[in-house]
Amino acid sequence: MLCLHCGHDEQSLGPACADCGSYVGYVADGRGYLPQLKVLEVGLAEGTISPEEAEKRLERASGALETLVHFMDECGQGLMTLDWDDVQQGTLGGFMMPIREAFENLRGLVDQLDPAGNWGDETWTALNEAQTQVQMGSEGMAVLTQTLASVAVEKGVDLEKVFAPPEGEEAGANSAAE
């Protein structure tokens, strides 16, 4: 993951950059990319980060969010392989769709950010609202995960196999997330 704060290309999954200690990637503490985006905006305002470098960092953040959307799609496809009726499948999709849409919305907002900075209060309000949607969707996914784990134990289903990427795609998914 690329640290949006210092630009270090962090090879680990973090959650902190080895160079500057800032959060990298999408952290599970509920703040997502917002701390890094704020630091990026401040760096642009202070002139310590060029618009060209900011554009590169924003593209990487967008790519990471796109990977999260793709992962949600893969999870949904994995759930379709379970032998459940339409009501059960619809309920599962109902838990997954809000976070998928929230990631997609957040990605759209990141794509609209001006690499020159000065994003303004209206932009930050939209980013905070999108992050709140992600957090609420994450809570729904936690309930879904717990429910699936319980049902899997009862039915003898190996969820790791259900959500495993198709053969040969694992390496591509890992490089896209970085």
Model pLDDT for residues 103-143, shown as the tens digit of each residue: 999 999 999 999 998 899 999 999 999 988 888 887 777 77
> Rounded CA gap, 26 and 1, in Å?
9
Residue 162 in this model has a pLDDT that exceeds 90: no
What's the pLDDT at 44?
A: 92
Residue 173 pLDDT: 45
Cα angle 43, 44, 49; round to 5:
70
pLDDT one-digit tens code per residue, 18-71: 887 776 655 545 667 788 888 889 989 999 989 998 998 898 889 888 888 888
Tokens 């009862």 correspond to 154
CB-hemisphere CA count at 13 Å for 138?
15
Q: CA 28, 31, 36: angle at the middle one, nearest 5?
A: 110
Which tokens is 162 given?
């259900």
Q: Which of 69, 60, 73 minimizes the C-alpha distance to 33?
A: 60
Q: What is the dihedral of CA 6, 22, 60, 38, to 10 degrees?
A: -90
State the Cα–Cα distance between residues 67 and 16, nearest whole angstrom.
Answer: 19
Question: Per-residue pLDDT tens for 66-91?
Answer: 888 888 888 777 777 777 777 777 77
Site of tokens 């459940």: 84
Task: With beta carbons less than 8 A apart as the criterion, state whether 41 and 119 touch.
Answer: yes
For residue 159, what are the contacts with CB-CB under 8 A and spacing of at least 6?
A: 148, 149, 152
Q: Give the tokens for residue 35.
A: 């701390």
